[in-house]
Amino acid sequence: MTESNKNIFYILLFFAMVCWGGSWVNVKFLGLYMDEFETMTFRYIITAISMVPLMIILRKSFKISLRNFILVTITSIALIAYMKYFYLGVKLGTASLGGSLVTSLIPINTFIMMALLKAKTVTKKDAFALGLGAIGVMTILHVWTFDSEKIFVTYNLYFILASLLWPIVTILSSKAMKISPITFTFHMYIVTSVLNLIFFVDLTTIEYSKLDSTFWINMLSISILASTFANTIYFLGIEKLGASEVSSFVFLVPFAAITLSAIFLEENISFSIIFGTILTIIAVKILNNIKILKKKKIESN
């Protein structure tokens, strides 16, 4: 890949991370119109439809093996559980808290789960990073105030549950064999929508007359921008640039969520949220050996 193409990809990755961060704001608005199951059903149906022309352009196959389809179904169940607590946490709490806590906890919890599954070995460096991450999370949760009313609130529990469920989605997805991640997620969105329609959603009870421009702006944003666009750019980035290089961009997500929450929701962003997020990001960087700035090789004459 040429340098100019890399720079274009970096810009696209930046906007993709902003879209992921913005999804927390989108959910806060959507919570005024629909419950969690209706929201994710609308979101993933729109996302799946918008992915069809994209997959054709990218020449991604729509075919899926029986093994992978079973895995998609199991992963979809975990996704529904994640989305439920993601939605409830934001509805009862704030988008800035969820965006900082969940997005910074997910890679830490993923590492811990992989270690428990013996897929990773925990070194002294990792133990230090996990300790630092724990301090960061406790700072975000205002533990140091020793105020039980701030610590043991329902939405904090929802956010922690969400941060534990997403690594399960990630680990299950990684078990897919001989299938593009884009194809896998396409089928996952369809299965998630079908499961919701079978067990949780009755489309005839939705008050469609109340779905105004604010609803559709946020629904299309979270569906097409945060899901179709951001996910596709992320997966393509891994293919073109490598997972380690793309991973560094994920650090933008919590700060995008915090910034957009302050702008669009006028949420009061506390120092503890910002400082705690920075600590957890440093911990994730150490855990995953991510280099933010890479030294350029000096060419010899």
Q: Tell me, letter by letter, the H, E, C secondary structure of 90-102.
A: HHHCCHHHHHHHH
State the DSSP code for 299. P
Are the C-beta atoms of 286 and 125 separated by less than 8 Å? Answer: yes
d(CA 31, CA 295): 45
d(CA 112, CA 94): 26
Segment 49-65 shows an average pLDDT of 96
Show the DSSP H helices in the chain as ranges: 3-30, 36-57, 66-92, 95-116, 124-140, 148-151, 154-174, 181-199, 213-220, 230-241, 243-247, 252-264, 271-287
pLDDT at 295 over 50: no
d(CA 123, CA 128): 9
What per-residue confidence (pLDDT) applies to 290? Answer: 59
Average pLDDT of the residues of the chain: 89
| Banded pLDDT at 238 (limits 50, 70, 90) | confident
* Close Cβ partners of 208 (under 8 Å, ≥ 6 residues apart): none
The CB density around residue 172, as the number of other CB atoms within 10 Å, is: 18
Annotated domain spans of the chain: 3-287
Rounded to two decimals, the pTM is 0.89
Segment 117-139 shows an average pLDDT of 87
What per-residue confidence (pLDDT) applies to 146? Answer: 64
d(CA 238, CA 38): 32
Segment 224-252 shows an average pLDDT of 86
| Residue 200 exposed, middle or buried by CB count within 10 Å (0-12, 13-18, 19+) | middle
Segment 288-294 shows an average pLDDT of 57
Amino acid letter, 271 = F
